[in-house]
Structure 1
Amino acid sequence: MTTLWQLFWTFIKINLLSTSGPASVGLLYKEAVGTIMTETQFVQAVGLASVLPGSDALQLAMFVGYAAAGVWGALVALAGSVLPPTIIMFGVVMVLNRLRRAAWVARFVEGLTPAVAVLMLFVAWQVFTSSGGGSVGWEMFLIGMVSLAALALDAPAPLVLLAAGIAGVVLFP
């Protein structure tokens, strides 16, 4: 059983180490799956958080917190998720305001981009392959390709996810 303090500390660590919502999902996957929830539960949480309006990372944190310790767990996970970036952001804004013309700042941010993209791809692959029990059938491939095409054509992501869920109801026995 995860205590509220352990839960709070987990989300403090995740949000001190991640640079974006998608990056935090990869770190949360490593922390939560196997200790707080199963991989299937995590995949379901990612899907639900993606469909709802608002920050996916905060919704996912609350879902994991709730799975670990109920309503208090959700609130503690939310606090642990919001506190580090809020404090850090105040400090960063003050420093960057002084350094905004320095070329190395833009290069630093550019250097982060590939690492964040790889983290997002890793989590996407984990979610994709775990949904089909480790194998990717034609149904998953079809839904994935149609979803990719719809997003490439600028379809709203929540509608694409809703349509994919409906397709899952129809295509999977």
Structure 2
Amino acid sequence: MLGTLFLVFLKMGCISFGGGYTVIPMIERDVRFYGWMTDQEFQRVVSLAGMAPGPIATNSATLIGFDIAGLPGAITATAGMVLPSLVIIIIIVAFLMRFRDHRVVKAFFYGLRPAVTALIIYAAIRFGFISQSGPYLTWSTLMTLLITAGCLYGVLKYKLHPVVVIIASGFAGIILF
């Protein structure tokens, strides 16, 4: 079990371009494939991981590992998730910084932007509707979209600090739900 945990999260760590939210759909796929958690359990893990300090993907790996195999599972899954980043950072510092202005390197990273954006949007949509088993257009869905639109408007128009947006969203949730 620990070997599988390590390899699953090692794979996630190797392909986690764009930050933790881009990896959430991939983690969900593997968690479902191995039957480690239900959709609702996974949603709770992602919620807790998002509220905890640190990267959401690493926090998710830690919580999933702990849920599956206790403390050894948490350590194993976390190690699998962070090891590729550590190796990549060492390689970047040692070699790629010399080539950062090279046309091909710049083009590669510009090409990653649309994929990263799409994966973040997918994670947001999937996470927002993961517990929906009935119709998608409900009071809860409409209020969630209203809060989302308000957050986006506040950040873009008024340059609100993310902490203010998060706290305001929590209070909006208390009022609307």
Number of aligned residues: 170
The aligned counterpart of 2:53 is 53
How far apart are the structure 2 equivalents of 1:144 and 1:157?
A: 18
Contact 1:143 1:164 in 2 (8 A): no
- For residues 90-139 of structure 1, give each alpha carbon's deviation from its aligned partner in whole angstroms, at most 9, with x where no partner exists: 11222222212212211110100111111122222221222233533122
Contact 1:151 1:157 in 2 (8 A): no
1:58 offset after TM fit, Å? Answer: 1.1
The aligned counterpart of 2:37 is 37
The aligned counterpart of 1:124 is 124
Q: Which moved more, 1:43-52 or 1:55-64?
A: 43-52
Task: Tell me the TM-score normalized by structure 2.
Answer: 0.83
The aligned runs of 1:65-144 (5 Å cut-off) are: 65-136=65-136, 137-144=138-145
How far apart are the structure 2 equivalents of 1:67 and 1:159?
A: 32
The aligned counterpart of 1:18 is 16
Aligned partner of 2:147: which letter? V
- The percentage of aligned residue pairs carrying the same residue is 31
Contact 1:52 1:158 in 2 (8 A): no
Label 1:85 to 1:134 Cα distance change in 2 as closer, same or farther (>3 A).
farther
How far apart are the structure 2 equivalents of 1:69 and 1:17?
A: 24
Label 1:146 to 1:115 Cα distance change in 2 as closer, same or farther (>3 A).
same
Contact 1:26 1:123 in 2 (8 A): yes
Unaligned residue ranges in structure 1 (runs of 5+) = none
Report the RMSD for the aligned CA atoms in angstroms. 2.2
1:170 offset after TM fit, Å? Answer: 5.9
Unaligned residue ranges in structure 2 (runs of 5+) = none
Label 1:117 to 1:53 Cα distance change in 2 as closer, same or farther (>3 A).
same
Label 1:82 to 1:4 Cα distance change in 2 as closer, same or farther (>3 A).
same
